[in-house]
């Protein structure tokens, strides 16, 4: 099993907060770091400071040296097609080829309205997602002169440079061109699985139990086989909430901290009981047991979704319990 640290910086995290988190994650041995891409603050109080995901990743790229960096996931509604491809390759160059790139259709209508961003119905957003993946494949992998005409974007005789960083171990197009690892994320709708099968290197399943993950990964394999893709070439990961402590006292303290951050004043036990079937929750032994269940269900990587990210010691506990 491989592990990424994943945070939700719209919880009011400054750039300095995020830098401290990713540098701690790198120091203790996390292979990758992902952040969400949101402009409205949640969970917890509304109106907290938020930061732009790609601006932050550009900074982190220059202040880290080993850890992979990425979004999980960037909504296709926030940025224009070719612009997003250019932003991503800029961060990729700044990081020396450490970028991983998660894309999704977007879901939070309020944050779109607040910033004047269009928020079409889900079918149109899914169409946009599919075209964005096609544009990334074309601009990154095709030679100069590539053109594309879709329902939402037209590209004519593109000359796109620089291309993604070419280094050993990267994902590659059939012609050998290197690119960042592409992730499709969501709850595993049939359309999202079909899009992933066609364009992505990895499907990231969000907020799901091991039993649900097993079923969705089987559907993902079927989607690959339908188009003639070897299902073994598709990465499988799960984004799972995490709250761990070295002992029950630490776990209880962190539970209280998380509920306070969320603004949840009562029903704490019930709140966690509802999430226990799908979270990495508890002492090291309990955490390892849940990881084993996800691994048995077919997950190859866990994105550990940390809702108390300022607690840097919990990053240490994750590493101690799970991979160090």
In order, the DSSP letters of 114-135 are HTT-----HHHHHHHHHHHHHH
Name the stretches of the chain with pLDDT < 50: none
Residue 9 backbone phi and psi in degrees, to 5? -65, -15
Q: Give the pLDDT score at 266.
A: 59
Question: In which region does residue 188 sit, left (phi positive, over 0), alpha (psi from -120 to 50) or beta (all else)?
Answer: left
57: nearest Cα among 105, 22, 82: 22
Q: Give the pLDDT score at 264.
A: 77
Q: Check if the beta carbon of residue 139 is closer than 8 Å to that of residue 146.
A: yes
Distance from first CA to last CA of the chain, Å, rounded? 12
Q: Give the pLDDT score at 308.
A: 97
Residue 156's SS3 state is strand
Q: Enter the pTM of the model.
A: 0.96
Q: Check if the beta carbon of residue 97 is closer than 8 Å to that of residue 170.
A: yes
What are the beta bridge partners of residue 241? Answer: 305
Tens digit of pLDDT for each residue in 198-251?
A: 999 999 999 899 999 999 999 999 999 999 999 999 999 999 999 999 999 999
Retrieve residue 15's tokens.
Answer: 């750039």
**Cis omega before residue 164 (within 30°)?**
no
314/311 Cα distance (integer angstroms): 6
Give Cα 294 to chain centroid, integer Å: 17
277/257 Cα distance (integer angstroms): 21
Q: Check if the beta carbon of residue 314 is closer than 8 Å to that of residue 244.
A: yes
- Pairing assessment for the beta strands 301-306 and 2-7 based on DSSP bridges: parallel
Q: Check if the beta carbon of residue 92 is closer than 8 Å to that of residue 180.
A: yes
Torsion of CA 313, 315, 317, 322, to 10 degrees: -170
Q: Give the pLDDT score at 249.
A: 98
Q: Give the pLDDT score at 265.
A: 61
**Cis omega before residue 159 (within 30°)?**
no
What are the beta bridge partners of residue 75? Answer: 104
Q: Give the pLDDT score at 267.
A: 64
What are the beta bridge partners of residue 93? Answer: none
Q: Quote the radius of gyration of the chain (alpha carbons, Å).
A: 19
Q: Give the pLDDT score at 269.
A: 84
Q: Give the pLDDT score at 258.
A: 95
Domain 2-322 sits in CATH at 3.20.20.30
């Amino acid at each position: 099993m491989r592990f990424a640290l994943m945070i939700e910086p719209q919880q009011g995290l400054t750039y300095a907060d995020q830098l401290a988190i990713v540098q701690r994650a790198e120091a203790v041995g996390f292979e990758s770091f992902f952040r969400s891409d949101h402009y409205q603050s949640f969970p917890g109080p509304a109106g907290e400071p938020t930061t732009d995901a790609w601006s932050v990743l550009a900074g982190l790229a220059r202040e880290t040296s080993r850890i992979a960096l990425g979004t999980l996931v960037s909504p296709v509604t926030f940025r224009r097609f070719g612009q997003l491809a250019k932003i991503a390759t800029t961060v990729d160059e700044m990081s020396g080829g450490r970028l991983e790139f998660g894309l999704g259709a977007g879901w939070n209508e309020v944050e779109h309205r607040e910033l004047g961003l269009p928020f079409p119905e889900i079918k149109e957003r899914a169409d946009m997602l599919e075209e964005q993946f096609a544009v990334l494949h074309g601009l990154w992998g095709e030679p100069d002169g590539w053109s594309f005409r879709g329902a939402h974007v037209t590209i004519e005789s593109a000359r796109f440079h620089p291309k993604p960083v070419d280094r050993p171990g990267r994902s590659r197009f059939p012609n050998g061109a290197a690119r960042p690892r592409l992730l499709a994320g969501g709850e595993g709708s049939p359309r999202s699985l079909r899009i992933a099968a066609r364009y992505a290197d990895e499907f990231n399943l969000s907020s799901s139990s091991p039993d649900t993950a097993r079923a969705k990964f089987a559907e993902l394999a079927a989607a690959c086989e339908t188009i003639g893709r070897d299902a073994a070439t598709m990465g499988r990961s799960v984004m799972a909430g995490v709250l761990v402590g070295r002992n029950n006292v630490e776990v209880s303290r962190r539970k209280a901290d998380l509920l306070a951050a969320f603004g949840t004043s009562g029903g704490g036990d019930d709140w966690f009981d509802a999430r226990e079937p799908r979270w990495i929750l508890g002492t090291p032994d309990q955490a390892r047991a849940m990881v084993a269940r996800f691994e048995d269900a077919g997950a190859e990587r866990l994105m550990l979704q940390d809702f108390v990210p300022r607690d840097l010691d919990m990053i240490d506990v994750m590493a101690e319990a799970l991979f160090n």
